[in-house]
Each structure stands twice: as structure tokens, then as C-alpha cells.
Amino acid sequence: MTAKTASKPTPMMQQYLGLKQEAQDCLLFYRMGDFFELFFEDAKVAASVLDIALTARGEHDGEPVPMCGVPVHAAEAYLARLIKAGCRVAIAEQVETPEEAKARAKREGTPSSKALVKRDIVRFVTAGTLTEDALLEPRRANVLVALAQVRDSVGLASCDISTGAMLLEDCTEDGLSAALARLGASEVVVPEDWKLGPDEAIVHDASDFASESGQSRLLAIHDVATLDGFGDFSRAMLAAAGGLIAYMEHVGRGKLPLLLPPALRSSGQIMAMDEATRASLEILTSQSGNREHSLIASIDRCSTGAGARLLAEDLSAPLLEQNAIEGRLALVQWLHDDPLMRAELREALRAQPDFARALGRLAAERGSPRDLGQIRDGLSGARQIHDFLSHQADQPELLQNLMPALTGHNALIDQLTQALVASPPTERSSGGYIAEGYDASLDELRSISGNARRAIAAMEARYRDDTGIASLKIKHNGVLGYFIEVPSRHGDTLMAPDSGFTHRQTMKGAVRFNSIALHEEATRIAQAGGQAIAAEEAHFATLVRLVIEARETIAATAAAMARIDVSAGQAERAAEGAWCRPEISQDLALDIREGRHPVVEAALAKTSERFVANDCALSESDRLWLIGGPNMGGKSTFLRQNALIILLAQAGGFVPASRARIGLVDRLFSRVGASDNLARGRSTFMVEMVETAAILAQASERSFVILDEVGRGTSTYDGLALAWAVAEAVHSQISCRCLFATHYHELARLSDSCEALSLHHVRAREWKGDLILLHEVASGAADQSYGLAVARLAGVPAPVVKRAKQVLAKLEETRTETGGLAAGLGGLPLFDAAGSDDDELDDPARALVTELAELDVDALSPREALDHLYAIAKRAKSTKS
């Protein structure tokens, strides 16, 4: 058997392999005619993800080359699926025409028949650098984040490339995961060999992550001499900005997208929430990973995609500054109190295009005539909304601050209105988007083209009369241009030498011809059409330049419209659900009357069920509620609903309650419903303990903590001990507001030693053997857990439940005899164990400590004291050995 001889790669394959080396770990879309082709491993990956046929083309190193392809006209849809699957794609386009390739080959002395069209990677398509509507979710921001560390500080530079909004901030190493969870990045870029980034982060040249580089890049982009007008940025922030901009230049092949002046965010401006808390509260996504059944899905009443994106940002970063919160609440109140005005405003907002993203596409040189039309319509709509709102009385301060941004674009609106047709197309290659009357010379070219087409129609009629062939037609296609077509049976008539027609092509059932007159008219049409398209291209470039020159003010208008939309949506949701305006205070109170869980209430409403509202009143003298009761009784819902009410209030919205007074919360913690993390080798209990440890280490007096069944994942004694110690620590060391749900009835004894702890339970009753869950939170300890009744409800077989009753009766008999699990804990001083390391000592060492503690030093003479000291030292040495 002979080995296959490796053949030399063809010129096309050599070109492909060179581009693939440049693309590195990205899939390479290699343009061939009307298709993007993929080869080798790229083809296998793409075929699997896209569910398309995997074929083969030629050989490489003696093996068939795997291959698949997607049509260019449908590439965006395929790109969207690849990006969603976690792939990154490099687009290799033809950068010269076949004619140019042949001319180049001739200059180089190469046979023109072997001329290979040049191709180059024109763009990298990655999750965080998308701008096309087809690849983006309208109601979700698409955030790219770069990280850089300078000493003990980690800088974060984030940008939504689709709108150009850029944010700089920094945090500690410990706070990085929480910051990334808040930003919800689609893609994270880190320096090479940096160990703190997330596992899925993209690495980039570390030399670009330098504060000097970041500063110089920002100065150049915004054409300023100093960044002081934007904010006081730290070195870590600037280093991250440098890496972010360098990465964007890389994926754009030297072209930068729209970048607005960076905004500074400090940690003291927003409520802190770690990743576990965000997941537990299901703020932007539910446990399934989808938007459905999340908090934002239940409250989003925004009329525009930009408003929905801003609402998500508000919920991700609730405010800490009382005046800023009150400003948002005042605007929501103003819109809430006038339903007719709100309805008219929301109707106007629904007609608004997403012109913030249209601006981003135009700045990234991926824009279309339709994007210019969206800028025109968006700015015009903003002006109309300004005129409408300016006639409304008692405008709140926030609205007064937003109003100026809605106007000031009259000249640009007029220019775009005059230049563009009412509904511009998405493609500009065929022209037709510049309005008639805007350019007289363009109108003349169109007239020539139109007259020529009418001339061709007249020519067709004349040829029919001259030849007597009624079925003769003049047609057009992209290969032959204009041609005369007759059925095959009439072909001989036009083939005659003196007919005046020239044979072009014989088809099955038809014959095609040309004529001198048709050629002349076709030439006239082509010339006029080409000149018209070139004129429209020139106008397009001019209009785009005018828009880009006004990019910052246009972006400010879009941002103002989004804020108004959020406020109107919040007012609408409040009116729907009879929500109240929360009172924000600087004290440590939390007084919520008839609070509800917005997501659960909305779900119950679909089945016409009523949500049971509950009160929650915490204060400095009653700051920890210990809540017992049966499973399914509503403990977890009660915990979460109060956390969500705090979040909604500090995000600047109304809350699902009849009344709410909320002392500002600096950090929100939720340890509810932990699950295992097999990827990191953590069991459910380990995850629970990690989350609990984070709370104990990071919570402050102003924090709000919800804890659900701490200690449930281990043995009963260990679990009770941990729950007891955690409750004591939250009460006596942290002293924060806390709701603590538990099934350990023994924890009720803590109310004897913890003066700011009170006992509560969710009510339930058994009726004729059935468990009735009332979902009401009442004062006092729970009398029982109803675990067996819940098991019966869940469908546990009756014999198993019966046997469990027998075991329970025996256990309760033993508990009565011994005093139960917590016997003796009532006399345990708070954190006695934490104040002594006695349990760490062995028996001889403990004896020495006891002897020292019992020694009356004042009663000893100097000689006796010295004798005792020698004796103790001798025993200590023997113990050590």
C-alpha cells in the first residue's frame, strides 16, 4: 500500500490558509461569488451549529477538504446563530473585481486566466461588537467590557457599540464578579496572562492595556486636550479603556464604531448586588436563563427598545443618592397622575424608531438609507414630543432637565426630510432613496433613464409590427442586459441575414437576439442609471457626514427620549397594579404595607388567582425577622418580594404595595434557593456556604439581607449550629435588616438573647386531613412544619407518609424527654465560641488555661508566684513535647 503524496495547495487554498492564520480562533467566512464558504474544522463546526450540509472540495495533504457554505444574502441570519452558539467569525471579502484581478495579473506577467481575486478580512464579528438589527435583541443592551488591573484596583471599561455609550469604573479584586454580573457583558476582553478574568474572556495584547495608551486614545477620539471634563478617571479605568479601544480597532480592522464621551461611575452611586443575588432575584433573566418570568418582563411597559434597555440598566444598578431617586419618582408620579396625557405620550413614543442604534450603524460605516430615515424620524418625533410636553403644567425637575435635549436639530431634520424619500430602503446599491426635487441633475439622469425605458417599450411594439411576431418581447437580466426574445418557432425569421437582428442565445423553447437600436438605448439607460446611483452615493455620504458631526447631540436626544419612555412605562405599570410611590429615607427603616411579589402576582393573575399581600416592618429595634412555617407556604416569596420592592424603589419606580417607607440600602443580599455548581466542583451546600460567607464578610449596617433555610444541606446538628451562629452574627455583629426563613424551630430561642429579633410564621391549617396554605405572614413562632402534609400534597405514596408519621411520633417523644436539639443552648452567651479558642485546645493545654484562670495572683508572694511560673513552664514544655 503506497502513501498518498501531499499535493501543493492551489493558489486559492494558499490564499485561504493565509487568511485563516490571520483569523486565528475565529471561523473564517471566505467569499466566493454569492456564497461565504468555510473549510476544514471551521466547516465542521458551522455545519453542526447551522444544521447545513457538510461536503468536500478537492484535497489538501492527500485528504478531502471538508466544506460548507451560506449564501451572502442570508449571511446575517446564519451569523446570528453562530454568535449565539458562542462562535466568533472573520469575514473575508473580495477586495477587487475580476477585471481588476486580470489587469493586476497582466502587470505582474501572470496569465489572466489564472488571476485570483484578492481577498482580505474586513471585519471580525463577535458577540460584543454587533451593530446590525438582525443580530441584536431590540430590548437588551449589547455590552463589551475590557478589564485591566493597576496595583490593587481593577478597571472596567464597558461600551454598548450599538449606541456608543461608554462607561468607566473600577473595583477591588473581590468586587469584580459582582461588577461583571451587573454589566451583563456579551463579551469580556482581558490582557494576555491575566488570571482574574472570567473563563470565557477573550485575551488581547497586554501592551494595549496601559493607562497612557487609554488616555491618549480617548483624547484623540474626542479631540480634546484633557479628559477632566468627562471625569476624574483612575489609572485602572484608563488602562481598561485602552484595551477596549484597541480591541475594537482590531475587530473593525482599523475602523472604530461610534464612541461617545466616557461617563464615570463610582461604587458609591449604586446599590451593590453580587452575582448570586441577581440570579436569586431573577432581575433580568429567570432561572431558566430567559427573559420570561423575570422581574423586568413583569414590569416592562416601555414603548421603545431604547427605553427597555435603559430600564434594564436601572434595575441592574439601583441608585444610592436620595435626590436622584426622588427625581425619577417625581417624573413617574407626574405621568401617573394624568392618564390621558400619559396615553398620548406613549402613543407618540411607540412611533419612534430606534435611532440611537441607527446612529451607531452609520458611525461604524454599516449604515443604510433607512438608518438616515430613522435619524430623521427620531429627531422629528422628539421635537413633536417636546412641543406636546411643553404645554403641560407643573413639570417635574427631571423633565425640565431633559426637555432641551429634545430639540435643536431643526436644520438637520429639514435637510434629511428634503433629501430622503418617505421610506428609504435598507440597500443603497439600486438607488431610489434620494427624493425627487432635491437634486435637479439627479432628476435629469432619472428622466433620461425613464425616457429610454419608454423608448424600449415603444421599440418592442414596433418590432412586433415589423416582424408580425405578437409574442416578441424585450427583456433584461444581469448577464445579457437587454435582449429580444421570441419563441423557437419564430427564431428562423430573425436569423435571416437582412433581418437587422443579431443572434445572442438559444434557449429551450426560445431564441434571444440583439439589435443596434436596442444596444444604443440600453447603453443610454446604463450610463444614466450608473451616474444616478453615483450621485445618490455622493448625497448619502454628505448626509452621513452631517449626522456624524451631530452625533453627541443626537445621542443625547435619544437618551432623553429613553428616560421619558422608562418613566411613562413605570407610571403605566403602577396604574395597572395599583402600585404606590415609595417614601425614601436616610434611616434604617423598612415599612411595607400589603407588599406583593410582582412576578408571582402577574403569574397568578393569568389564572384569575389572588396574590395574598403581606406587611413587613423592620426597624432598628426589630431588624431581624425569623420566619418559620411549611414548605409551599410562601416564605421564599415573602423574602424575595421585599428585596424586589427595595430594588424597584431605589431604581426610581413605584412598588407593588399600598404604602412603603424605605431607608436607603447600600447592598442587597439574597441567599435563597442555592443550587450546585458542578463545573466548579461545588455541592449545593458548598454554594450555600460560599454565598453566606460573602454576606457575613461584606454586609454593613445599611444592607438588606434575605436568608432562606441556612444549613439545610448538611446534618441536622451541623445545620442548626450554622443557622444559629449566622443568625447571631447578622443580628449582633452586622446589625443589618434581615429576613431569615428557617425550618429549625429551635432557633426561636434566639428571641430570648437577641433583643432586635422577632418571631414570625406563614400561616397554614389542616382541615379534614388536608393542608390549607394561607400564605399569610403572622407574628409568633411556627407551631409545626407540616412536612408530612406537604409530602402528601406532592404525591408521596400513602404507605411512605404513614411510616413517616410513625417515625415522627417516636422522634417527638424523644425530643420531649431530652429537651430537643437545642437543649442547653438557651444559656449559651452570644458568640461565646467566637470569643474563645478553647475548642481548639487539647486536654493538657486546656488544663493549663483553667489553672491560670483560677489562680489568685494578688494572694501570692513573689516567691510563690515564681514557683508557680516555673511549674507551669515545666508542664507547658512537657505538653509541647
3-state secondary structure 642-671: HHHHHHHHHCCCCECCCEEEEECCCEEEEE
Residue 678: pLDDT band (50, 70, 90) is very low
Q: Rounded to a whole number, what is the distance in angstroms from the first to the last CA of the chain?
A: 76
Residues near 400 by beta carbon (within 8 Å), at least 6 away in sequence = none
Q: Is the pLDDT of residue 829 over 90?
A: no
Block residue for cell numbers 388567582: 609
One-letter identity of residue 488: S
pLDDT value at residue 203: 93
**Cβ atoms of residues 360 and 393 within 8 Å:** no
Give the least confident one: 630-644, 648-662, 770-784. 770-784
Region of residue 207 (phi > 0: left; psi between -120 and 50: alpha; otherwise: beta): alpha
CA distance 543 to 415: 8
One-letter identity of residue 361: R
Give Dmax (Cα) for the chain.
Answer: 145
How do 35-39 and 27-32 pair as beta strands?
A: antiparallel
CA distance 143 to 557: 21
Average pLDDT over residues 836-847: 58
Give the least confident one: 53-67, 170-184, 394-408. 53-67
Average pLDDT over residues 55-64: 83
CA distance 55 to 664: 62
Q: Is the pLDDT of residue 539 over 50?
A: yes
Q: Is the pLDDT of residue 139 over 70?
A: yes
pLDDT value at residue 769: 66
Q: pLDDT digit string (tens) for 448-462?
A: 877 777 888 899 999
User: Which grid cell sits at 84?
Assistant: 449565539
CA distance 689 to 118: 59
pLDDT value at residue 826: 55
pLDDT value at residue 141: 94
How many residues does the structure list for the chain?
A: 881
Torsion of CA 450, 456, 460, 462, to 10 degrees: 110
Average pLDDT over residues 697-724: 86
pLDDT value at residue 104: 83
With vertex at residue 50, the alpha carbon angle to CA 357 and CA 285, rounded to the nearest 5 degrees, is 50
Average pLDDT over residues 599-624: 94
Residue 809: pLDDT band (50, 70, 90) is confident
Counting Cβ atoms within 10 Å, is residue 441 exposed (0-12), middle (13-18) or buried (19+)? exposed
Residues near 150 by beta carbon (within 8 Å), at least 6 away in sequence = 211, 234, 235, 236, 239
Task: List Cα–Cα distances, 487 to 417, 479, 506, 614, 849, in angstroms.
Answer: 48, 20, 10, 84, 115
Q: Is the pLDDT of residue 848 over 80?
A: no
Average pLDDT over residues 211-223: 95
User: Which grid cell sits at 100?
Assistant: 481588476
Block residue for cell numbers 458551522: 46
Residue 6: pLDDT band (50, 70, 90) is low
Residues near 816 by beta carbon (within 8 Å), at least 6 away in sequence = none
CA distance 439 to 462: 35
One-letter identity of residue 244: L
pLDDT value at residue 866: 67
Average pLDDT over residues 648-669: 97
Q: pLDDT digit string (tens) for 292-315?
A: 999 999 999 999 999 999 999 999
CA distance 334 to 537: 47
One-letter identity of residue 510: A
pLDDT value at residue 676: 45
What DSSP character marks residue 675?
Answer: -
Residue 841: pLDDT band (50, 70, 90) is low
Mean pLDDT of the chain: 88
Give the least confident one: 42-56, 729-743, 777-791. 777-791
Q: b vs e for 744-770, b when ≥16 Cβ sit within 10 Å of the residue's Cβ?
A: bbbbbbbeebbebbbbbbbbbeeeeee
Output phi, psi for 585, to 5 deg: -135, 170
Q: pLDDT digit string (tens) for 90-116?
A: 999 998 888 888 888 788 777 766 678
Residue 709: pLDDT band (50, 70, 90) is confident
- Quick check: helix, strand or coil at residue 199? coil
pLDDT value at residue 5: 53
pLDDT value at residue 140: 93
pLDDT value at residue 822: 55
Residues near 120 by beta carbon (within 8 Å), at least 6 away in sequence = 19, 92, 93, 95
| C-beta neighbour count of 1 within 10 angstroms | 2
Q: b vs e for 812-833, b when ≥16 Cβ sit within 10 Å of the residue's Cβ?
A: eeeeeeeebebeebeeeeeeee
Residue (of 516, 526, 525) closest to 452 by Cα position: 525
Q: pTM here?
A: 0.85
Residue 1: pLDDT band (50, 70, 90) is very low
Give the per-residue SS3 of 320-382: CCHHHHHHHHHHHHHHHCCHHHHHHHHHHHHCCCCHHHHHHHHHCCCCCHHHHHHHHHHHHHH
User: Which grid cell sits at 264?
Assistant: 464615570
Q: Is the pLDDT of residue 760 over 80?
A: yes
Give the least confident one: 565-574, 695-704, 832-841. 832-841
- Quick check: helix, strand or coil at residue 545? helix
Counting Cβ atoms within 10 Å, is residue 703 exposed (0-12), middle (13-18) or buried (19+)? buried
Give the least confident one: 503-517, 605-619, 776-790. 776-790
Block residue for cell numbers 490571520: 22
Q: pLDDT digit string (tens) for 868-879?
A: 776 777 776 666
Average pLDDT over residues 72-78: 91
Average pLDDT over residues 241-248: 96
Give the least confident one: 261-275, 751-765, 816-830. 816-830
Output phi, psi for 271, to 5 deg: -70, 135
**Cβ atoms of residues 647 and 314 within 8 Å:** no
Average pLDDT over residues 507-513: 92
Average pLDDT over residues 425-444: 90
One-letter identity of residue 616: C
Q: Is the pLDDT of residue 3 over 80?
A: no
